[in-house]
Amino acid sequence: MANDENKTTKEFDGRIQLREKLYDIVKELLLSTTEKHFKDLGIKPVDKYFGEYNDGVTFGTGVEEGKYNICLIGKTKSFI
């Protein structure tokens, strides 16, 4: 994202991009290892959805007893 008021160096921009890639890697590792451990324990993911729009498109994840849902949240992108 170009911003004429805020001049940054290529090195600084590269560090921000690297950090964002690292966050993506950590997130993927966290999700995959957590899912693997639940699967190893015989626990299945939630297969329900929370709601449905008028056009039939579903949204959200429902809840079911004895099943899991992983939700990682947080702001990881930087805009300068």
User: In this model, does residue 29 exceed pLDDT 80?
Assistant: yes
Average pLDDT over residues 42-71: 86
Query: Are 12 and 68 a contacting pair, CB within 8 Å?
Result: no
Looking at residue 35, its pLDDT comes to: 94
What per-residue confidence (pLDDT) applies to 36? 96
The whole-model pTM stands at 0.62
